[in-house]
Amino acid sequence: MSAGWRFALFLIVIVALVVAPLFLVYRSQCIEDGKPADTWSLVAPWDDPPSDCRGHETGFEVLTERLGF
């Protein structure tokens, strides 16, 4: 394998590691001890939040919200 292919593979792995949390980390607003609380979790994109939680947002949605987009 040439050095160019190895470098391209290295870049793909780095980009995948940086981008994966944006789509695999979720923030849900749950009720804990009778008070609302943000809960962060690492789940598959097709999973649903627990029944006592609402506001299921991906890391990408949270980031764009914080940046004002």
8-59 residue pLDDT tens: 999 999 999 988 888 888 888 887 788 888 888 887 767 766 666 777 788 8
Q: How many domains does the chain have?
A: 1
pTM: 0.60
Fill in the amino acid letter for 51: S
The pLDDT assigned to 52 comes to 65
Q: What pLDDT shows up at residue 50?
A: 61
- The whole domain housing 32 covers 3-67
Residue 51: the pLDDT is: 63
* pLDDT higher than 80, residue 62: yes
Residue 28 makes CB contacts below 8 A (sequence gap 6+) with: 38, 39, 41, 49, 50, 53, 54, 55, 56, 57
